[in-house]
Structure 1
Amino acid sequence: MKRLVSLSLIFIIISSCSNNKENDFSSLICNVEKPTEDLDWLESEIDILTDEGDQYNYIKQAEYNNQTVFIFANCNPLVNSVFFVKTCDGQNIGIIGTREQDIPWSILNNGEIIWKADDSECNL
């Protein structure tokens, strides 16, 4: 009987520790696994950036006001850039800046680069 209880406990522990991706919604970004491939609008934006051959562009994913956002940025040292911020549905919600209506620069510190050009010149 003790052996049956021990085997049952081992089975329960192993079952509860399994990595079941189908039920792991915490890993989803904007309700998709790979935003750069699964969000049509984002994939289109990346295609445009790739076609332009600009080695200074990159896209960062971050959290802002409890939602996932995408920051379209570049590191070109010769250009005064505007970093656009878009939501999961591709809506532009503002720019990063220092004015009161702008999104603060600090969100860049917590973000993650999700795309950059293959020949990127950015030291990220």
Structure 2
Amino acid sequence: MKKLLFLSLLILLMLGACQDEDRFPVCGNDEISDLPWFKEKIKEFGGEGEFAQYQYVLAADYQGGKAFIFGNCCPFCLSVFLVYDCNGNELGYLGSGEGGIPSSELMNQTLIWKAENSACNFE
């Protein structure tokens, strides 16, 4: 009986450790999958096409809230990485200058989405 209880507990712990990548708490209690604007942006951003494999999104702590950095690892593109808040409002772009958000202000960056056939290396 003790072995069965131990085995059951072990299985529950292992299942709890597995996470669906769409289930990532970001904005208060909201998960990525609960944000309609995010789903729409992913359709636009990471849709079909020759550049889809280079797209990714990072979540970061920014000014007491969360921010989302829509970036890419395209080796031959000149890109602007846009930054959004929890409501889908554009905060600016990653970089310096007017309208820019320095990378140093975006703390605890975490990969939350990448293209299915991603060519990006996130190690």
| Aligned with 2:31 (options 34, 37, 40) | 34
* Aligned counterparts, 1:97-112, within 5 A: 97-99=95-97, 101-107=99-105, 110-112=108-110
Higher strand residue share: 2
Question: In the alignment, residue 26 of structure 2 is paired with which amino acid?
Answer: I
2:80 pairs, out of 56, 79, 82, with 82
With normalisation by structure 1, the TM-score equals: 0.69
**One-letter identity of the residue aligned with 2:40:** S
Residues 68, 117 of structure 1: alpha-carbon distance in 2 compared, 3 angstrom cutoff: same
Counterpart of 1:65 (choices 63, 66, 69) is 63
The structure with the largest alpha-carbon Rg is 1
Partner letter of residue 54 of structure 2? Y
Counterpart of 2:10 in structure 1 is: none
Q: Which runs of 4+ in 1 moved over 4 A?
A: none
List gaps (5 residues or longer) in structure 1.
1-26
Which residue number in structure 2 is paired with residue 122 of structure 1?
A: 120
Tell me whether 1:55 sits opposite 2:16 in the alignment. Answer: no
SS at match of 1:42: helix
Give the letter for the 1:31 counterpart. G
1:46 aligns with 2:42: yes
Distance 1:101 1:89 in 2: 18
Distance 1:76 1:82 in 2: 11
Provide the rounded CA distance (Å) in 2 between the counterparts of 1:99 and 1:118.
33
Q: How many residues are treated as equivalent by the alignment?
A: 97
Gaps of 5+ in 2: 1-23
For the Cα contact (< 8 Å) 1:32–1:38, is it kept in 2?
Answer: no
Using the aligned pairs only, state the percent identity: 40
Higher helix share: 1
1:47, CA displacement in angstroms? 2.0
